[in-house]
């Protein structure tokens, strides 16, 4: 059977304008900042795939090992005939482990990167002919809704990769609480969460020797140039990533190498030498800290798996 992917366009119609408005607001703020969700244009999504293959970036391979080891247990928790919803599906590699163990009747991939979403869901549909595959093109940080046609079925929302770390803890709690509201009764959330650990291990993961994370960070400036026509020279910026221990988070910034002015239409954004543009927070948790947050969001933390080095955790939260 060669079945098609059911595509649901949930993207905000004014995505270009809202991108520009967000950039103008972020460059006008003090300190200057841009949301990490803007990293994921096509080149950015490809760079992220390469980050996941860097030896220092332990998150991806560790999570994959945890999922491989726990997949039967996860399948038993979730039960048969469910809907598997993947948030930020990207290249959808990890979910294959779950699909094979769980054998859900339906899969819904949700992603902000349209081409990536279509490619990866088409591959899933081709490889798993028994699976009904849906794709929702959406910015789930703004709008989260199960599309018509899948709503109502007992679900498990898979939120891999520690993407939840991009939210501040209070926003993460609000996001999870909202997710709980839209999931049908008796559902669950399977979520990957990076753990607090040695500064050296954390900082190496965001400063890989091959410079892929730096290229990923700087690609945001290319995107501003190509998509919005911002006059900006990426070579005038340095990549900076460090662990902010007080906030338990990796911070990424772009640091101005000189005094310069970015231009966008009638706007002027002057930068001092050394001034930073904050591009990402990646919050880290202890197992107990994350379980407490999940409880505050209304969930029951039912199971947690980790690796022998306690680098990464995968939680199952019941709604
Ligand atoms: C996709 C948000 C989980 O925070 O580790 C990787 C993104 N940024 N390297 C992370 C990212 C720099 C990643 N998340």
Is the whole model's pTM more than 0.90, yes or no?
yes
Residues in the chain: 319
Angstrom distance (rounded) from CA 303 to CA 70 = 10
Binding pocket residue ranges, ligand 1, CB within 6 Å: 51, 59, 161-163, 165-166, 206, 213, 280, 282
> What DSSP state is assigned to residue 183?
S
Strands 188-194 and 260-264: unpaired
Q: What is the pLDDT of residue 92?
A: 67
Residue 266 has pLDDT above 60, yes or no: yes
Ligand 1: atom nearest CA of 205 is 9
Q: Can you list the alpha helix ranges (DSSP code H) found in the chain?
A: 15-28, 42-51, 58-78, 94-102, 114-127, 169-182, 199-205, 212-228, 287-296
CA of 282 to the centre of ligand 1 (A): 7
Asked if residues 137 and 10 have their Cβ atoms less than 8 Å apart, the reply is yes
Instruction: Report the mean per-residue pLDDT for the chain.
Output: 94
- Report the SS3 class of residue 300: strand
Cis preceding-peptide flag for 179 (omega within 30 of 0): no
CA of 248 to the centre of ligand 1 (A): 15
Interval 176-194 mean pLDDT:
96
What ipTM does the predicted assembly reach? 0.99
Residue 85 has pLDDT above 60, yes or no: yes
Strands 276-283 and 249-256: antiparallel
Q: What is the pLDDT of residue 17?
A: 86
Q: For residue 15, what pLDDT band results from cuts at 50, 70 and 90?
A: confident
Ligand 1, atom 10, residue with closest C-alpha: 282
Nearest Cα neighbor of 213 from 66, 36, 75 is 36
Angstrom distance (rounded) from CA 108 to CA 148 = 12
Angstrom distance (rounded) from CA 17 to CA 318 = 38
Which residue(s) pair with 32 in the sheet?
277
pLDDT per residue as tens digits for the range 279-292: 999 999 999 999 99
Angstrom distance (rounded) from CA 6 to CA 134 = 5
Interval 220-227 mean pLDDT:
97
Which residue(s) pair with 280 in the sheet?
252
Asked if residues 194 and 59 have their Cβ atoms less than 8 Å apart, the reply is yes
């Amino acid at each position: 059977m060669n079945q098609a992917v059911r595509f649901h366009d949930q993207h905000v119609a004014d995505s270009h304008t809202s991108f520009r408005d967000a950039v103008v607001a972020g460059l006008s703020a003090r300190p200057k900042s841009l949301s990490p969700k803007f990293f994921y244009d096509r080149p950015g999504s490809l760079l992220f795939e390469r980050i996941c293959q860097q030896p220092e970036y332990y998150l991806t391979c560790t999570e994959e090992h945890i999922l491989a080891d726990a997949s039967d247990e996860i399948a038993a928790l979730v039960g048969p005939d469910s809907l598997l919803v993947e948030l930020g599906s990207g290249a959808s590699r990890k979910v294959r482990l779950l699909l094979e163990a769980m054998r859900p009747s339906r899969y819904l991939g949700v992603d902000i990167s349209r081409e990536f979403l279509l490619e990866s869901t088409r591959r899933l549909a081709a490889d798993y002919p028994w699976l009904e595959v849906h794709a929702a093109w959406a910015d789930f940080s703004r709008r989260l809704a199960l599309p018509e046609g899948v709503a109502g079925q007992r679900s498990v929302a898979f939120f891999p990769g520690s993407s939840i770390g991009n939210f501040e803890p209070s926003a993460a709690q609000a996001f999870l609480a909202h997710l709980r509201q839209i999931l049908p009764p008796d559902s669950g959330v399977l979520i990957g969460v990076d753990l607090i650990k040695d500064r050296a291990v954390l900082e190496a993961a965001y400063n890989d020797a091959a410079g892929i994370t730096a290229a990923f960070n700087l690609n945001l400036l290319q995107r501003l140039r190509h998509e919005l026509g911002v006059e900006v020279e990426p070579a005038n910026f340095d990549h900076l990533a460090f662990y902010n221990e007080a906030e338990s988070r990796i911070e990424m910034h772009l640091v101005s190498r000189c005094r310069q002015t970015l231009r966008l239409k009638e706007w002027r954004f002057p930068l001092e030498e050394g001034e930073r543009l904050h591009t990402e927070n990646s919050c880290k948790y202890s197992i107990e800290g994350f379980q407490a947050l999940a409880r505050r969001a209304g969930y029951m933390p039912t199971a947690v798996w980790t690796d022998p080095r306690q680098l990464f955790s995968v939680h199952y939260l019941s709604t």
